[in-house]
Amino acid sequence: MFQRAHELVTVTKDPQYTGANRCFPCTVVNLIIAATIATLLGVFVPSLGLVFFAFAVATIWLRGYLIPGTPELTKQYFPEWLLRWFGKAPPKPTAADVDPGEYLQQHAFIVEDEAIDDLVINPIIKEDWWVRVADLSAEQSDKAALSQFSDLPASELTLGWEDDAYVARIDEERIGSWESRSAFVADMAAHRVFASQTTDWDRLFVAQRAEIVGAFRLFIEQCPTCEGTVTMDQDVVESCCFRYDVIAGTCQGCGDRLFELRVDLEQEQEQEQPIDV
Ligand SMILES: [Zn+2]
């Protein structure tokens, strides 16, 4: 009997908004709505208020929400500070003292290609980068590579998939995440190139190095995993309670995402400026 009930509940639960996908802000909003309605009903018929509240809590537990469309509402109307308080805010771009774009050009890692009137990876650097990609592939130790990059002991690092991100942690603390393993390999290879080509790389903070290799990744035209062509497209990133536009670089060979840049397309269109990556 219990087994059957458990099966029934399992099949009835909506996995999109329950379990690991449960949206905490949506659940809180729905519980407040349920409590308000139950109180109003309870004023007139106390038992009805209680029955309604029990029904509402069960519905929220099973479906993730009581009022249809609440996940959509929180996406649109919850301010970022409130979502952040719930731990649900979209990632904020971080600033560093070193401008990554300037750094890349100052060291001629990125150069102007007059033929196409655009910035590209310096061909010598590109060649070196591919050598480092091959080294990383042969070594087969992402942890050792990350340890070199972060100056943290490999034994204390963990690397693994969390939702759609390749995430690095030390103990429980999240220290970095990448859109794919290809993106991770691209950064670790770039780190080795820059460390060998400059004298100031070791003096930079790890966060600054991360920003610089991340900026370099925007110029990579071929996937380090399968050598497929990386193309740029507009996309929308959606979670349970936020949604934003991105310019995404995706490998046409293996489908790995090399980067995602958050953009405000409406604002870009108003300003009629090209998107500066
Ligand atoms: Zn690929």
Q: Are residues 147 and 219 in the same domain?
A: yes
Task: Count how many domains the chain has.
Answer: 2
255 Cα to the center of ligand 1, angstroms: 6
Q: Is residue 95 part of a domain?
A: no
pLDDT tens-digit series, residues 74-111 = 666 666 656 656 655 555 444 447 899 999 999 999 99
Q: Are residues 114 and 69 in the same domain?
A: no
95 Cα to the center of ligand 1, angstroms: 29
Domain-terminating residue out of 55, 85, 115: 85
Distance, in Å, from the CA atom of 136 to the CA atom of 141, rounded to the nearest integer, reads: 7
Q: Are residues 70 and 108 in the same domain?
A: no
Q: How many CB atoms lie within 10 A of CB 56?
A: 19
Distance, in Å, from the CA atom of 16 to the CA atom of 125, rounded to the nearest integer, reads: 44
* Structural domain of 7: 2-85
Q: Are residues 115 and 227 in the same domain?
A: yes
68 Cα to the center of ligand 1, angstroms: 39
Nearest Cα residue to 150 out of 105, 81, 204, 199: 204
Q: Are residues 219 and 142 in the same domain?
A: yes
pLDDT tens-digit series, residues 141-150 = 999 999 999 9
Q: Are residues 243 and 205 in the same domain?
A: yes
Average pLDDT of the segment spanning 240-260: 90
224 Cα to the center of ligand 1, angstroms: 7
Nearest Cα residue to 73 out of 17, 35, 13, 18: 17
Q: Are residues 161 and 120 in the same domain?
A: yes
Average pLDDT of the segment spanning 255-270: 77
Q: Is residue 93 part of a domain?
A: no
Distance, in Å, from the CA atom of 232 to the CA atom of 222, rounded to the nearest integer, reads: 12
Q: Are residues 183 and 254 in the same domain?
A: yes
pLDDT-based confidence at 273, cuts 50/70/90? very low
Q: Are residues 123 and 231 in the same domain?
A: yes
In the chain, the DSSP E strands lie at 110-113, 118-121, 157-162, 165-170, 173-178, 230-238, 243-251, 257-263
Distance, in Å, from the CA atom of 237 to the CA atom of 276, rounded to the nearest integer, reads: 20
Q: Are residues 119 and 235 in the same domain?
A: yes
Q: Are residues 161 and 238 in the same domain?
A: yes
Nearest Cα residue to 30 out of 43, 17, 20, 13: 17
